[in-house]
Amino acid sequence: MKKHILIVLSPLFIATFILSLISCTEDADAKKPMKLTNLKMLARLTGEPLPNEIIPAPNNTIQYDVYGTDLGIMWHMEGNKIGIFFGDTNGEGFRVLTNGGGNGGNWRSNFVAFSEDTDLEDGLTISSMALDEEGKAREICAGAKTGGSDKYNTSIPTGAIRADGVDYVHYMNIYEWAGGAGRWLTNFSSLYASKDGGQTWERKKEVEFHSDSHFSQVAYAKKDGYVYMIGTQSGRGDAAYLARFKEKDILDMTKYEYWNGENNKWVKGDEAAATPVIEAPVGETSLMYLEKQRRWIITYLLDHAFDKKAPRKAHTLVYRESKDLKEWSDVKVIATDKEYPKLYCAYMHPLKNNGDKLYFLMSMWHPYNVFLLSADIELEDIGV
């Protein structure tokens, strides 16, 4: 007679085995390259719909005297609340011009809006804005409109972050857009801060980047106690550089650390030590860590006018992925100006970082307004 041996596995052993299988699957997925597919324009965010426009337009921004605007830089504040910073804005009298761009009355260099909407398939609903005494969206970072030498002057937001319980916006003070070689010429770049949920803001002169700084424009993202900062010179022709600092040290530039790829180390307090992590040209970046896919993603505008190898001088929204922010994948296309004429910027929604879909705001020079788009996130099988 045969004897049968019964093996009893403990619950702990079974749980450990299942977790190891999950871990192996996650590790395998983390090595797969990522691609964005099924790009869709979901809704208009700002301004008035054009004739025959069929996408949703959930926001009546003209009630705040916002007719024409751009950018839409989002950051996570508290709970489900996000802030959204916009650039040069015009009110009543704005017209959609054939060649696009801002015009009309009540020019403000920037303004900020807020949203708690997380169901984005039918659009992103704005719940409120920081307003002036007339109930119009007010300028936050002073633009002055003319500089000390009577040159054109405006203050454009480039990135925003909540650090150590305070909301910050990084902005560039521009006096000349046509600086050559993809440059916009600045007086400086600096920060404004808000301690009351974005209603009032104060200039923070402790942080000021000089006019040729590679951190004149930045994208921020937080992870493991650090704020990471991808930077470029003002404009669309520079390479991208990397820095980091602890949240509590955001106003102490002596504590900023800059990545030096030549020596493979972080260098504290010396911006000149920073070396490029992404080759030029890089414009208007957005940075986020994708929790589910376990990697960083950066989106930006690739302006082929400043790429000597480009066969076609055009605008393309692109992305790259990275495990460590230092080494990045080859460039991959999100959208081109063939699909969306006069497109620029791709600012990602910070609360949508743990799923299979990417949501971002895109500007279009014509009709000089901001739109919400989505794309599916897929991991590619690369074989054995």
- Gap between the Cα atoms of 336 and 304, Å rounded: 11
Decide: residue 261, CB within 10 A, 0-12 exposed, 13-18 middle, 19+ buried: middle
pTM strictly above 0.85: yes
In this predicted structure, the answer to whether residue 24 has a pLDDT above a threshold of 60 is no
pLDDT of 309 reads 82
**Does residue 275 sit within a domain?**
yes
Averaged over 120-137, what is the pLDDT? Answer: 98
**CA angle in degrees (0–180, nearest 5) for 245-251-256:** 30
> Residue 219 sits in which domain range?
34-379
Cα 48 to Cα 40, 45, 98, 125, 219, distances in angstroms: 20, 9, 16, 14, 29
Q: How far is CA 37 from CA 29, 227, 292, in A?
A: 17, 29, 17
For residue 10, is it within any domain? no
CB 358 within 8 A of CB 374: yes
Residue 199, domain CATH: 2.115.10.20
pLDDT of residue 15: 53
Residue 12, domain member (yes or no): no
Mean pLDDT value of segment 75-91: 98
> Percent of the chain scored above 90 by pLDDT?
85
Residue 108 has pLDDT above 80, yes or no: yes
Total domain count, the chain: 1
Residue 253 binned pLDDT confidence (cut-offs 50, 70, 90): very high
Residue 242 has pLDDT above 50, yes or no: yes
- Following DSSP, what letter does each residue of 98-151 receive, concatenated? TT----SSS-BS-EEEEE-----TT-----EE-B-TTSSBPPSS---EE-TTS-
The chain-wide mean pLDDT, for the chain, equals 93
Residue 119 lies in a domain: yes
Number of residues in the chain: 384
Q: Pick from 371, 368, 377, 384: which is nearest to 88 by CA?
A: 368
Question: Does the pLDDT at position 31 exceed 80?
Answer: yes
> What are the φ and ψ backbone dihedral angles of 127, each rounded to 5 degrees?
-95, -30
Is 256 inside any structural domain? yes
pLDDT band for position 14 (cuts 50, 70, 90): low
Residue 18: the pLDDT is 55
Q: What is the pLDDT of residue 12?
A: 61
Question: Which pLDDT score, from 0 to 100, does residue 153 have?
Answer: 86
pLDDT in tens, 165-210: 999 999 999 999 999 889 999 999 999 999 999 999 999 999 999 9
What percent of the chain stands above pLDDT 70?
Answer: 91
pLDDT at site 27: 73
- Whether 320 is covered by a domain: the verdict is yes
In the chain, the largest separation of any two C-alpha atoms, in whole Å, equals 103
Is 364 domain-assigned?
Answer: yes
pLDDT at residue 312, as a whole number? 81
What's the pLDDT score for residue 384? 43
pLDDT value at residue 13 = 57
Q: Is the pLDDT of residue 219 over 50?
A: yes
Name the pLDDT band for 5 (thresholds 50, 70, 90).
Answer: low
Q: Is 50 among the domain residues?
A: yes
- Report the C-alpha gap between 144 and 175 in whole angstroms: 10
User: What would the mean pLDDT of 246-253 be, rounded to a whole number?
Assistant: 98
Residue 269 has a pLDDT of: 97
* Mean pLDDT value across residues 367-375: 98
